[in-house]
């Protein structure tokens, strides 16, 4: 099954069902991607920054997501803009780029993810054409408006430059990283992604994104936090990483078994 990439961009902008929830996977196992893609996630993110994906496994992971008719998103390593265009060629619907701290960083990202005249993305989307089921000319003409380029805001510098980043033509939105942002806001004193300071920053970021007509996404540590983000008005959220969900499920099963056995 293929997914029209326009469907993903359009749903993000319309905030269907009050916003989208994406799976977040760092373990480089396409079969794990297949299993989580079967659940009621709206999209799947492959984390290549802190996860262990390489290009070959990521291409296979993207294919597994596409089999379920859902959009695949890839978070690239810091400043690895060359991989962004390759992942789009492999069929990714969106790119998340970490540590975008200035308008210059944002423009460099756009160069890799958008075709001329916006950027300098090189032609070669053979797998993308297969996944999307469209002709080459159609993909070329529509790709800049249909692929989604997302800059991560997770430092003081990025917060100070948020309007300049959002104003860059070709940046479709931002992704707030609460963990790194909490470290930055506390000058390295603490890790507090669920703090009031982050809530205040997110509210400001939502307002700036709405002013620019751009998307806003963020990483939630669990389902409760993700729900709070959706209520705040975010367009796409994460409800925890796959490792946390796996271990939480295991703990719940073990606790239930022990409780029943002791009763």
150-166: average pLDDT: 97
Query: Is 50 a residue of the active site?
Result: yes
Tell me the pLDDT tens digit for each residue of 171-186.
999 999 999 999 999 9
Please tell me what DSSP assigns to residue 18: G
Query: Does the pLDDT at position 34 exceed 80?
Result: yes
What is the model's pLDDT at position 7?
Answer: 63
Tell me the pLDDT tens digit for each residue of 59-82.
999 999 999 999 999 999 999 999
Cα–Cα dist 227/234, whole Å = 10
Query: Does the pLDDT at position 6 exceed 60?
Result: no
What is the model's pLDDT at position 1?
Answer: 34
Q: What percent of the chain has pLDDT over 70?
A: 97
Which SS3 state, helix, strand or coil, does residue 79 take? coil
CATH topology for the 5-262 domain: TIM Barrel (3.20.20)
Cα–Cα dist 101/161, whole Å = 7
Beta bridge partners of 160: none
Query: Does the pLDDT at position 203 exceed 60?
Result: yes
Take residue 140 and report the two structure tokens written for it.
């070329």
238-245: average pLDDT: 97
Give the list of residues 6+ apart from residue 62 with CB closer than 8 angstroms, or none: 46, 72, 74, 87, 90, 91, 92, 127, 131
Query: Does the pLDDT at position 261 exceed 50?
Result: yes
Tell me the pLDDT tens digit for each residue of 123-148.
999 899 999 889 999 999 999 988 99
Q: Which of 35, 50, 131, 212 is catalytic?
A: 50
105-110: average pLDDT: 98
pTM: 0.94
| Burial of residue 125 (number of CB atoms within 10 Å: 0-12, 13-18, 19+) | buried
87-91: average pLDDT: 97
What sign has the CA pseudo-torsion 36, 38, 44, 46? positive
Beta bridge partners of 72: 44
- The rounded mean pLDDT for the chain is 94
What is the model's pLDDT at position 4?
Answer: 47
């Amino acid at each position: 099954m293929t997914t029209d990439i326009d469907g993903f961009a359009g749903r993000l902008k319309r905030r269907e069902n009050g916003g989208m929830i994406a799976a977040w996977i760092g373990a480089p196992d396409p079969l794990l991607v297949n299993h989580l893609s079967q659940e009621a996630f709206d999209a799947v993110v492959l984390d290549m920054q802190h996860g262990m994906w390489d290009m070959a496994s990521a291409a296979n992971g993207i294919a597994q997501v596409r089999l379920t008719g859902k959009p695949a998103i890839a978070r690239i390593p810091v400043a690895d803009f060359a991989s962004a265009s390759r992942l789009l060629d492999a069929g990714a619907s969106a790119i998340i780029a970490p540590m975008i701290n200035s308008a210059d960083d944002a423009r460099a990202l756009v160069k890799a993810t958008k075709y001329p005249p916006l950027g300098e993305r090189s032609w070669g989307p053979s797998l993308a054409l297969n996944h999307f089921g469209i002709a080459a000319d159609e993909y070329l003409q529509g790709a800049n408006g249909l692929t989604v380029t997302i800059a991560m805001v997770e430092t003081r510098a990025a917060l100070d430059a948020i309007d300049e980043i959002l104003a860059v033509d070709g940046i479709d939105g931002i992704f707030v990283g609460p963990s790194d942002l909490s470290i930055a806001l506390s000058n390295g004193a603490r890790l507090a992604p669920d703090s009031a300071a982050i809530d205040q920053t997110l509210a400001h970021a939502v307002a700036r994104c709405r002013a620019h007509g751009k998307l806003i996404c963020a990483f939630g540590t669990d389902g409760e936090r993700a729900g709070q983000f959706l209520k705040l008005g975010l367009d796409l959220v994460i409800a925890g990483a796959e490792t946390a969900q796996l271990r939480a499920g295991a703990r719940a099963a073990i606790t239930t078994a022990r409780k029943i056995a002791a009763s």
